[in-house]
Amino acid sequence: MDTPLLWQVQPIGGSGKLGPLDLAMIATLPRPVLLGVVGVVLIGAVFVATHRSTTTSTPSTPAPVQSAPAASPSTTKPAPTAANPGSAAKPASPPTAKGLPAPVQRALDAKKVVVVLFWNPRGVDDRSVKSSVDRLPRHHGKVAVFSDSVKHLSRYTRITAATNVSQTPTLVIVNRKGQAELQTGYLDYQTIGQYVANGLRR
């Protein structure tokens, strides 16, 4: 079925149906009419093209959303609680003794005279006092002699709390009653031996 147009372009003496364009007639048409015809043709072409694309295209199916699998109860670890002491962190180990190295503490517990020298290996007086302390007689196990760097004063808080160690060489003599005596600076061998003998008599 032919659809008549408002301005049907056809050859002279045509049947009313659309046929080959007569270029001579088109040339004689006014410019506004030509523009209108071209606009109608373009609109029709765009409509046909868009209509075909919408009818032939299929709606896109959204991809299924994958949810993360739920954690299995057997794989989850309980937080450390009071009811679960095995999983809690282990506490730090306690000090070796009550504010003293273990050998010094054992000597005090045995009621020995304890001699502790805090010294600096770079000091001339320190090395001399250290040599004298190392030669002290042990009086059949009644005297215990120790020496340590002044950097390790924090290990001897039980002694340093009662005595103010601020320089080297410093000699601390603790008698059998636990009373501490502090001597600083250079000390010869005879003087150190006298302090030890005094500690044995008290």
* Claim to verify: residue 108 and residue 52 sit in the same structural domain: no
Within this chain, do residues 125 and 188 fall inside the same structural domain, yes or no? yes
CA–chain centroid gap for 62, Å, is: 42
Across the 202 residues of the chain, what is the mean pLDDT of every consecutive 10-residue run?
Answer: 47 49 54 70 71 53 52 51 45 55 95 95 95 95 95 88 82 92 94 94 86
For the chain, what's the residue count?
202
What pLDDT was estimated at residue 99?
87
Write down the pLDDT at residue 118: 95
Number of domains in the chain: 2
Please indicate, yes or no, if residue 138 is contained in any of the structural domains: yes
Whose tokens are 């502090």? That residue is 182
Q: Are 194 and 202 in contact, with CB atoms under 8 Å apart?
A: no
Q: Is residue 75 part of a domain?
A: no
Structure tokens belonging to residue 47: 């409509």
The answer to the question of residue 78 being in a domain is no
User: Same domain for 117 and 197?
Assistant: yes
The four Cα atoms 13, 17, 22, 24 give a dihedral, to 10 degrees, of 60
186, 113: one domain: yes
Do 51 and 112 share a structural domain? Answer: no
Rounded to an integer, what distance in angstroms lies between the CA atom of residue 171 and that of residue 183?
5
H-helix segments, the chain: 23-28, 31-56, 102-109, 124-134, 157-160, 189-201
Question: Is the domain of 171 the same as that of 116?
Answer: yes
pLDDT of residue 170: 94
Structure confidence at residue 202 (pLDDT): 81
Regarding whether 119 and 49 lie in a shared domain, the answer is no
Residue 79 counted as domain residue = no
What residue type is 34 in one-letter code?
Answer: L
Q: What's the distance, Cα to Cα, between the start and end of the chain in Å?
A: 139
* CATH code, domain carrying 110: 3.40.30.10
Residue numbers of the domain that contains 149 = 102-201
The reply to whether 130 and 189 lie within a common domain is: yes
Cβ neighbors of 12 (< 8 A, separation 6 or more) are 22, 25
Order of strands across the sheet that contains 170-174: 143-149, 113-119, 170-174, 180-184
One domain for residues 196 and 120: yes
pLDDT score of 78 = 52
Q: What does the pLDDT read at residue 92? A: 40
Residue 172 lies in a domain: yes
CA–CA separation, 121 and 112 (whole Å): 27
